[in-house]
Amino acid sequence: MKVLCYGVRDVELPIFEACNKDFNYEITCIPEYLNTKESAEKAKGYEAVILRGNCFANKQNLDIYKELGVKYLLTRTVGTDHIDIPYAKELGFKMAFVPGYSPNAIAELAVTHAMMLLRHLAYTTCQSAKKNFVVDSEMFSKEIRNCTVGIVGLGRIGRVCAQIFHGMGATVIGEDVFQIKGIDDYATQVSMDELLAKSDIISLHAPYIKENGKVVTKEFISKMKDGAILVNAARGQLVDTDAVIEAIESGKLGGFAADTLDGEAELFGKNFGDKEIPNAQFAKLVSLYPKVLISPHLGSYTDEAVKNMVETSYQNLKDYVETGDCKNKIK
């Protein structure tokens, strides 16, 4: 079985190769993302492709895959909104996703973002880089043990994030559409309004459901404590970016950190150097550093997370080949 793997970075290549020892696929790993006609045409001669986030299996690319004889469309991600699923089904592709991977990878990044903003480390190290080692009032902060942290979404990642913050001494509260059992030792489940009113830090770990729209809106932010910190390591579509920009500029938000952005493909994976960022909204966000911290969707960029994603993707393909079905199929 010949498999083409998109968006594989150099440091990930050994993991793809090591995991393949148990499957013996003929794998080809390329750094290019699936985002052009030319990148889709690279699948000539392959029966299966493995995508990552920001690899767009749209109508154009799916038509090319169909013509080239690709049968299996796999993504090494939890999210599947980069795939035109109805059209892929119409063309008969067998599809699968990764239902979960190391929750610690995302949780650790969210906590790191939050602590950088709470302790003003981005600002402080910027001053140091300018050879300014004066301790000023902007560097003064609360300790995390004197903070209340609100976790929006108490799935696997949200629960790990809650446990880390609890271990650091914070009071942790959480909100979820379901009543979550087994969290009483480290978090208290509350309503969204209570979470917004009490939290010094809010970390988003909820899924994006298109029909429900955005979670972070002007109204959401208006209910938050003045000067609170907001972290999004979940889905970019959850957040109204313009509302966040307005809240940072007004001082309503003390800081914002994001590993995902709505429409992030315009920004992430690109080096603009001395050029202007074409998207004015993203350019504004970047200009608000160090109050705004942006990382280019690297929450899952760890050894354990990549290993989990690759192993699951390989197993998904094996299940399809051997049984014609897959427990992680995209429905």
CA distance 323 to 274: 52
Residue 28, class by beta-carbon neighbours within 10 Å (0-12 exposed, 13-18 middle, 19+ buried)?
middle
CA distances from 138 to 143, 253, 290 (A): 15, 15, 11
Nearest by Cα to 300 from 288, 314, 312: 312
Distance CA 42, CA 295 (A): 29
In sequence order, the 6+-apart residues with CB closer than 8 A to the CB of 48 are 1, 2, 3, 4, 25, 70, 71, 72, 73, 74, 317
Q: Which residues are the active-site residues?
A: 235, 264, 297
Residue 196's contacts (CB-CB under 8 Å, 6 or more residues apart) are 150, 202, 220, 223, 224, 225
Give the separation between CA 301 and CA 102, rounded to whole angstroms: 10
Q: Which residues contact 223 (CB under 8 A, 6 or more apart)?
A: 193, 196, 197
Closest CA to 320 of 94, 98, 97: 94
Count of Cβ atoms closer than 10 Å to residue 42 Cβ: 18
